[in-house]
Amino acid sequence: MQRISRSKITDGTDSTSALQEQTSRAHGLLRYSYVEGLAVFFDLIIIIASSVLTGVLYHLAIINAVGDVETFLGIGGLTAVNFSAILAARGAYRPQVLANFWKQGRETTTVWLLVFFVLSTVAFSLKISETYSRGATLTFFVFGWFAIILWRLIIARFMAYALATGTFAKRKTILLAEQAQLAGSSVVDDLKRYGYVPERTFEFSPNLVRSAGASSQLSEFINEIVEVCRQLPVECVFLLGSWDNRRFIDRVIEELGVLSVPTYLLPDRNVAHFIGSRIVNIGPTWTAELQRAPLTATEQVCKRAIDLLIAVAALIMLTPMMILVAILIKLNSPGPVLFMQTRNGFNGRPFKIFKFRTMSVLEDGLVIRQATKSDPRTTRLGRVLRRSNIDELPQLFNVIAGDMSLVGPRPHAAVHNSKYEKVIAKYAYRHHVKPGLTGWAQINGLRGETKTIDLMAKRVEYDLWYIKNWSIWLDFRILLHTLIVGLQSTAY
């Protein structure tokens, strides 16, 4: 008969564990489950306080009067509720997310911009913005964002400290673990970090749950667990076993049903890697997000709004110069002013890219030669346009049309895409975002002709890094760098 081993888990066997346990006893007052609610509460307080503080100080400085405090409270409350609701819906208040400051910084900044854009648009549309001080509102926008970012930094530092030292209040638990699953698993340490300390760990062999003749032994095993749970102030039970053994899991759930404590099923080795992904509920269906969209819906809205704002403004300012360039192209060589070529955009969808014509040919099809240094196809004016990047300006129309973004991987000719997808791993991942006028690879010197596969592979590496690490601030950084070095002779 298979023997069932039962062992009590102790809290550490070395000096480090002992120190952590002492720290936990001294500071273990905060429950892990309270973190989310406290984060929401302080967000609301900080935003409302920022609105009132900036409103009062601004009016004291400008008109030497306190101003309408009720208005400041209303603006702050409306902003706080919308901001917190969106973050909560996106799962941004989960403790493991709060522990990542850089992710929180991107998330809060994106939502902060979105909330202010929407509320400002509504106020303007309803013609109620005139009752508010624009200066006070702008001051609130800047100061409120700074306060939220500082608060996020404090939370991240606290979470890192709490997880490292066992600060969270202890919650006594029982762990049922299959020996094959427990061996080499970090599950016990992970539970301890979040305050869940197994008072007892009951190990069982795979044969116990799969053997047809072990029913009585299994009942004895579970009955002992029930007795321990009744004797100890246990808050929950964790089960770590193979997920493919449905009969055993159902049996445990049924027999532990006599207890008034919750039972949680931990991921086994086969699914732990996938469960580490973000959990997304689609209707009533639970899913693990094995591959996330590079930009969430909110981030896409923000990026699109910035694209339109800057592209339209740039087009208005540059129209006189573009008209002059068009006239010069017509005078310099025969042919159309604009060069159009099929490129692949978001999700690989084809679109026509616009450029000022710089060559004597208009290649678009199955055979396209990359431009090279001293290329005889390039016109005299074309060389100037290419070196100064002025030939790319018509792509502002592509941005406005939604085919491109200001920043993103540079689009390649469709025929070149077909070639590189076959020889460069993850090349097609470049199409997870819209192509851009400029990109991370370009400001790092990877633009113009790619003579070798290795050069193209390096460009793809930079493009994928950009997609993985995208933020509004990274886009602004790339745009600023592009403007600074835009007139350098880096292409031909």
Inform me whether the pLDDT recorded for 403 exceeds 60. yes
For the cut 90, the answer to whether the pLDDT of residue 417 exceeds it is no
Confidence (pLDDT) at 409: 92
Mean pLDDT of 68-74: 83
pLDDT in tens, 131-172: 567 777 888 889 999 999 999 999 988 887 877 776 776 778
Predicted confidence (pLDDT) per residue in 370-385, tens digit: 555 556 677 888 888 8
| Candidate from 93-97, 121-125, 235-239, 274-278 with smallest mean pLDDT | 274-278
Average pLDDT across the chain, whole number = 78
Round to whole Å and give the CA distance between 403 and 410: 12
Indicate whether 440 and 476 sit together in one domain.
yes
Same-domain pairing of 156 and 177: no
Residues 301 and 392 in one domain: yes
Say if residue 231 is in the same domain as residue 173.
yes
| Domain hosting residue 360, numbered range | 297-485
Average pLDDT over residues 65-74: 80
The pTM score is: 0.50
Of 289, 318, 351, the domain-final residue: 289
Same domain as 262, residue 331: no
Task: Give the per-residue pLDDT at 192.
Answer: 76
Domains in the chain: how many in total?
A: 3
- In a domain, residue 490? The reply is no
pLDDT score, position 22: 42
471 or 365, higher pLDDT: 471
In this structure, the answer to whether residues 452 and 307 fall within a common structural domain is: yes
Q: What are the pLDDT digits (tens) for 450-485? A: 667 888 888 889 998 898 888 888 898 899 888 877
Higher pLDDT, 92 or 492: 92
Task: Give a yes or no: residue 492 inside a domain.
Answer: no
CATH number at residue 20: 3.40.50
Say which range, 20-29, 36-45, 414-423, 480-489, has the weakest mean pLDDT: 20-29
SS3 letters across the chain: CCCCEEECCCCCCCHHHHHHHHHHHHHCCCCHHHHHHHHHHHHHHHHHHHHHHHHHHHHHHHHCCCCCHHHHHHHHHHHHHHHHHHHHHCCCCCHHHHCCHHHHHHHHHHHHHHHHHHHHHHHHHCCCHHHCCHHHHHHHHHHHHHHHHHHHHHHHHHHHHHHHHCCCCCEEEEEEEEHHHHCCCCHHHHHHHCCEEEEEEEEECHHHHHCCCCHHHHHHHHHHHHHHHHHCCCCEEEEECCCCCHHHHHHHHHHHHHCCCCEEEECCHHHHHHHCCEEEEECCEEEEECCCCCCCHHHHHHHHHHHHHHHHHHHHHHHHHHHHHHHHHHHHCCCCCEEEEEEECHHHCEEEEEEECCECCCCCCCCCCCCCCCCCCECHHHHHHHHHCHHHCCHHHHHHHCCCEEECCCCCEHHHHHHHHCCCCCHHHHHHCCCEEECHHHHCCCCCCCCCHHHHHHHHHHHHHHHHCCCHHHHHHHHHHHHHHCCCCCCC
Q: Residues 210, 304: one domain?
A: no
Of 289, 322, 356, which marks where a domain is finished?
289
Q: What percent of the chain has pLDDT over 70?
A: 79
Residue 241: per-residue pLDDT: 81
- For residue 7, pLDDT over 60 is answered with no
Mean pLDDT is lowest, of 16-20, 175-179, 243-247, 288-292, for: 16-20
Question: What is the pLDDT, as a whole number, of residue 11?
Answer: 39
Residues 322 and 200 in one domain: no
Question: How far is Cα 41 from Cα 34, in angstroms, rounded to an integer?
Answer: 11
Is the pLDDT at 265 greater than 50, yes or no?
yes
